[in-house]
Amino acid sequence: MRILSGIQPSGALHIGNYFGMMRPAIELQERGEAYYFIANYHSMTSLFDAEERRNNSLDVALDFLACGLDPDRAVFWKQSDVPEVTELTWLLSTITPMGFLNRCHSYKDKTAKLADGDEEKVNHGLFAYPVLMAADILIFDSNIVPVGRDQKQHLEVTRDIAIKFNNLYGETFVVPEPEIRDSVAVVPGTDGNKMSKSYGNTIEIFGPQKPLKKKIMSIQMDSRGVDEAKPDAEENHAIQLLKLMAPATEAQETEDKLRAGGFGYGDLKKTLFEYYWNYFEEARKKRDELANNLDYVSEVLNKGADRAREVATKVLDRAKNAAGLN
Ligand code: ADP
Ligand code: TRP
């Protein structure tokens, strides 16, 4: 079984990325051949600063390795080191009806949020984004793709493209399945909406303690006082975050205290901060070690690219044969 996923180097990774995508991906490396990459081509559709892309790509590599991606088990590389995906993207583009792309929420949301004068940022790459993503997935004969819920529609487009190509040119691609964990499908941010870089409501996995504590202490709550009972404690987003990082019994106790009254939001956030900080303690140490050993990190990515490229070349060749190019 082959498992594949990618993550864009578009900013510091947050705990939504961690619980929604990275942790499932790391757990899955025990269950099959894991292929994970840094989607730097995709980041070009919305990030236009070369230095930032370079720095972010290194940060994602450090973050993912620190969190437990094991280069002895998983193949890990930078997307642009396997340029075969861009060739496959062209083959797939020619059989992708415009309608498949017109219906994608992610494109529609991004264009709807643009400020006046930013219309030029709506580039062709942003529209064609799901086709490149389909190529990423199909070029590795991937069976399972662990992602957060926001990527579900892109996976549906990938499946539709694979089926269409197979019907037209004969069985060529494996049709992949998404793996979306319900419990962490949408991790809430500090304002209670989906945690996302683009909403400015993130809690990063790594960084200096003070500003991270400040972020957690700034989680928005309603105006009920300490003594008031909070019968809806289960829906509180700090409680939902706590459940991801504290042992189940302790998270439940905190929820019960909040429900009963006499336990305020300040105490809740302090508790959340303690569990959050401890949860990533080991990863933080590992990240510091890796940051002092960047040669090792580039070696991992170079070896990963070589291994990934071997598979990609074969599948691209298969697709070119099927389409009558070879
Ligand atoms: P962002 O929304 O911050 O830009 P990305 O779109 O780069 O995040 O997401 C990278 C991966 O992390 C994807 O698989 C996505 O589904 C997952 N992910 C991002 N935010 C969340 C969240 N709040 N809850 C669950 N998964 C998430
Ligand atoms: N679009 C994904 C995201 O923003 C990143 C991505 C690119 C990806 N190619 C992929 C994820 C292939 C899974 C498989 O999160």
Are 265 and 182 part of one and the same domain?
Answer: no
Listed residue (174, 104, 116, 105) closest to 145, CA to CA: 174
Tell whether ligand 2 has an atom less than 6 A from the beta carbon of residue 2.
no
Ligand nearest to the CA of 38: 2
pLDDT score, position 14 = 97
Tell me, what's the pLDDT at 303? 98
Please tell me whether residues 228 and 104 are part of one structural domain: no
pLDDT at 234: 95
Q: Is residue 92 part of a domain?
A: yes
100 and 35 fall within a common domain = yes
Give residue 315's identity as a one-letter amino acid code. Answer: V
- Residue-number span of the structural domain to which 249 is assigned: 207-279
Residue 112 within a domain: yes
Instruction: Measure 280 CA to ligand 2 centroid, in angstroms.
Output: 24
The pair of structure tokens assigned to 41 is 């081509």
Is the domain of 303 the same as that of 275? no
Q: What is the CATH number of the domain that holds 272?
A: 1.10.240.10
160 and 228 assigned to the same domain: no
Same domain, 170 and 221: no
Task: Report the chain (326 residues): mean pLDDT per 10 consecutive residues.
Answer: 95 93 94 97 95 97 97 98 98 97 86 79 92 98 92 96 98 96 88 92 97 97 94 96 97 96 95 98 98 98 98 98 97
CA–CA distance, 4 with 8 (Å, rounded to integer): 14
Question: Does residue 272 fall inside a structural domain?
Answer: yes
Q: How far is the CA of 314 from the centre of ligand 1 (A)?
A: 31
132 with 271, same domain: the answer is no
Residue 193 falls within a domain, yes or no? no
Closest ligand to the CA of 136: 2
What pLDDT is stored for residue 225 in this prediction? 93
What does the pLDDT read at residue 116? 78
Verify whether ligand 1 is closer than 6 Å to residue 20 (CB atom).
yes
Examine the domain organization and report whether 121 and 160 are in the same domain: yes
Instruction: Work out which ligand 1 atom sits closest to the CA atom of 185.
Output: 25
Ligand 1 mean position to 148 CA, how many Å?
6
Q: With respect to residue 286, please indicate whether it lies within any of the assigned structural domains.
A: no
Is residue 232 within 8 Å of 224, Cβ to Cβ? no
Q: What does the pLDDT read at residue 21? A: 92
Ligand 1, pocket-test mutation among 7, 17, 147, most atoms within 8 A of CB: 17
What is the structure's pLDDT at 194? 94
Provide the 8-state DSSP code for 194.
B
Q: Please choose from 88, 147, 159 the residue to mutate so as to test ligand 2's pocket, defined by most ligand atoms within 8 A of CB.
A: 147
Nearest alpha carbon, ligand 1 atom 16? 148
Tokens read off for 224? 């009920």
Q: Is residue 284 part of a domain?
A: no
Q: 302 and 233, same structural domain?
A: no
3-to-142, 156, 171, 317 alpha-carbon distances in Å: 6, 16, 20, 21
The pLDDT, as a whole number, for residue 275 is 98
| Whole-number Å distance between alpha carbons of 6 and 38 | 6
**CATH code, domain carrying 82:** 3.40.50.620
- What is the C-alpha to C-alpha distance for residues 154 and 110, in angstroms, rounded to an integer? 14
Compute how many other C-beta atoms are within 10 angstroms of the C-beta atom of residue 54.
12
Say yes or no: CB of residue 17 within 6 Å of ligand 2: no
Give nearest CA residue, ligand 2 atom 11: 6
273 and 157 in a single domain? The answer is no
CB of 194 within 6 A of ligand 1: the answer is yes
Please tell me the distance from the alpha carbon of residue 162 to that of residue 92, in angstroms, as a whole number: 8
Is the dihedral angle over the CA atoms 295, 19, 47, 37 positive or is it negative? positive
In a domain? residue 192: no
C-alpha 240 – ligand 1 centre gap (Å): 17
Same domain as 258, residue 213: yes
To test the pocket of ligand 1, the residue of 13, 15, 21 to mutate (highest count of ligand atoms within 8 Å of its CB) is 21
Which ligand places an atom closest to the C-alpha of 63?
1
Assess whether the C-beta atom of 150 lies below 6 angstroms from ligand 1. yes
Q: Is the Cβ atom of 39 under 6 angstroms away from ligand 2? A: yes
Cβ of 24 less than 6 Å from ligand 1: no
190 lines ligand 2 (CB under 6 A): no
To the nearest 10 degrees (0 to 180), the angle between helices 209-217 and 265-279 is: 140
User: Looking at the 3D structure of the chain, how many domains does it have?
Assistant: 2
